[in-house]
């Protein structure tokens, strides 16, 4: 029986979501027949090393956000020689750094919203409203602020809490699409409907925060383009295993002109409200089968 350590919790703003992801994945792994050890990752690295001894055959990384999704924990697992799920050190670090990820996407011709990194004191002078202010290195829409046309600039400074710089992007109106990729192939897409202005943290994780529907009235060329762009982005970052690419589609523009890639999530949520398990289910892969495939893809290195 394969021994799997599920890493969850962590130190980021997404700790509670990670605990939910980890519990769900651990349950599915047990259902699939694995010997599972759940590890709540905290700041004591020595304690984590002890918890990982004797070494499991695979570490299932259910951490989200900084220190769990940005290459840090991946580096530790590399040093310990423990194969792990999801992307490696470099791809994880690139994807978490929104500016670096944008550059990688643009280098292969993927359309992203106009944007640039600016000092906090200059962030509100980059574009006229509507615009979006994002932390440069956070996940799950943590800290994202949308300033609507005619709206007041949000407070920053000490109220910001995400560093001295921010990524400022032009706001893209339209519809939210997301595409799951596994081992370089698209699993499928969903459209996200939410009462919020965009697919924010609450919409992602609160029960009833959003509705996920199979996109039936979206042109086939747009869906095909989103799946192709998701795979291209996955490969541009050097990802492996499962990723999820999020898009905005401005349907007022012709064809695929209004399709913009927002980000790639190297460790997408795996909670009961999460998108990747739902996309996999639509593709005929139930949750235990999905985590089994992810364990099978675990390794050290890129």
Q: Is 61 a catalytic residue?
A: no
Burial class (CB in 10 A: 0-12, 13-18, 19+), 301: exposed
Q: Is 269 a catalytic residue?
A: yes
Name the active-site residue from 22, 139, 241, 269. 269
Helix 89-96 vs helix 98-107: angle between axes, to the nearest 10 degrees? 100
> Catalytic site residue 263?
yes
Closest CA to 241 of 66, 101, 62, 108: 62
Q: In this structure, are residues 76 and 66 in contact, taking their beta carbons and an 8 Å threshold?
A: no
CB atoms within 10 A of CB 81: 8
- HSE-CB for 44 with a 13 A CA cutoff: 8
How would you write the pLDDT of the chain (302 residues) with one tens digit per residue?
Answer: 799 999 999 988 889 999 999 999 999 999 999 999 999 999 998 999 999 999 999 999 999 988 999 999 999 999 999 999 999 999 999 999 999 999 999 999 999 999 999 988 887 888 988 999 988 877 656 778 888 887 666 656 556 777 888 899 999 999 999 999 998 999 999 999 765 554 444 544 455 556 667 777 899 999 999 999 999 999 999 999 999 999 999 999 999 999 999 999 999 999 867 899 999 999 999 999 999 999 999 999 87
d(CA 218, CA 239): 27
- φ, ψ at 79 (rounded to 5°): -60, -35
User: At a CB cut-off of 8 Å and minimum separation 6, what does 284 contact?
Assistant: none
Angle at 91 between CA 85 and CA 97, to 5 degrees: 120
Helix (H) or strand (E) holding 129: none
Name the token pair of 7: 């890493």
Looking at residue 58, its pLDDT comes to: 98
Q: Measure the CA–CA gap between 134 and 236, rounded to whole angstroms.
A: 22
Q: Phi and psi at residue 223, in whole multiples of 5°?
A: -60, -45
User: pTM for the whole thing?
Assistant: 0.89
Q: Is 14 a catalytic residue?
A: yes
Is residue 20 part of the annotated active site? The answer reads no
The answer to whether the beta carbons of residues 43 and 66 sit under 8 Å apart is no
Residue 83 to residue 102: CA distance in whole angstroms: 28
| Set 84, 127, 201, 205: catalytic member | 205
196-205: b (≥16 Cβ within 10 Å) or e: bebbbbebbb
- The catalytic position among 10, 12, 14, 258 is 14
Number of neighbours of residue 290 by Cβ within 10 angstroms: 24
Q: Please report, to the nearest 10 degrees, the dihedral formed by the alpha carbons of residues 17, 41, 97, 121 taken in order.
A: 80
- Answer yes or no: are the C-beta atoms of 223 and 189 closer than 8 Å: yes
Catalytic residue among 102, 263, 274, 278: 263
Residue with the two structure tokens 């703003």 = 13
Which pLDDT score is estimated for 227?
97
Please state, in angstroms and rounded to a whole number, the distance separating the CA atoms of residues 238 and 283.
24
Q: Are 219 and 225 in contact (CB under 8 A)?
A: no
The active-site residue, picked from 97, 246, 260, 274, is 246
DSSP state of 157: G
Kindly name the residue from 244, 248, 258, 260 that is annotated as catalytic: 244
Whether 265 and 141 have beta carbons less than 8 Å apart is answered as no
Q: Following CA atoms 214, 143, 19, 296 in sequence, which dihedral angle do they give, to the nearest 10 degrees? A: 60
Question: Residue 228: its pLDDT value, please?
Answer: 98
Helix (H, G, I), strand (E, B) or coil at 179: strand
Known active-site residue 246 = yes
Compute the distance between CA of residue 273 and CA of residue 267 in angstroms, rounded to an integer: 15
């Amino acid at each position: 029986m394969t021994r799997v350590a599920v890493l969850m919790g962590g130190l980021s703003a997404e700790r509670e979501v990670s605990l939910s992801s980890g519990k769900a994945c651990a349950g599915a792994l047990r259902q699939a027949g694995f010997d599972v050890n759940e590890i709540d990752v905290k700041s004591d690295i020595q304690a984590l090393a002890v918890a990982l001894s004797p070494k499991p055959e695979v570490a299932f990384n259910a951490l989200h956000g900084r220190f769990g999704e940005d290459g840090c924990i991946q580096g530790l697992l590399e040093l310990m020689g423990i194969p792990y799920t999801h992307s490696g050190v470099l791809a994880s670090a690139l994807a978490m750094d929104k500016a670096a990820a944008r550059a990688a996407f643009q280098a292969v011709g993927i359309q992203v919203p106009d944007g640039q990194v600016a000092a906090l004191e200059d962030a509100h002078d980059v574009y006229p409203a509507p615009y979006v202010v994002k932390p440069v290195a956070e996940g799950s829409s943590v800290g994202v602020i949308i300033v609507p046309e005619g709206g007041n600039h949000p407070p920053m400074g000490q109220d910001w809490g995400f560093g001295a710089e921010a990524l400022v992007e032009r706001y893209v109106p339209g519809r939210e699409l997301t595409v799951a990729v596994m081992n370089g192939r698209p699993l499928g897409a969903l459209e996200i409907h939410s009462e919020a202005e965009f697919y924010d943290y609450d919409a992602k994780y609160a029960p009833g925060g959003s509705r996920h529907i199979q996109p039936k009235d979206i042109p086939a060329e747009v869906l095909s383009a989103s799946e192709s762009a998701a795979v291209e982005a996955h490969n541009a970052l050097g990802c492996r295993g499962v990723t999820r690419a999020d898009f905005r589609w401005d349907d007022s523009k012709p064809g695929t002109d209004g399709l913009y890639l927002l980000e790639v999530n190297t460790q997408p949520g795996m909670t009961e409200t999460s998108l990747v398990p739902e996309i996999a289910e639509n593709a005929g892969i139930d949750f235990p089968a999905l985590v089994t495939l992810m364990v099978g893809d675990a390794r050290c290195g890129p």
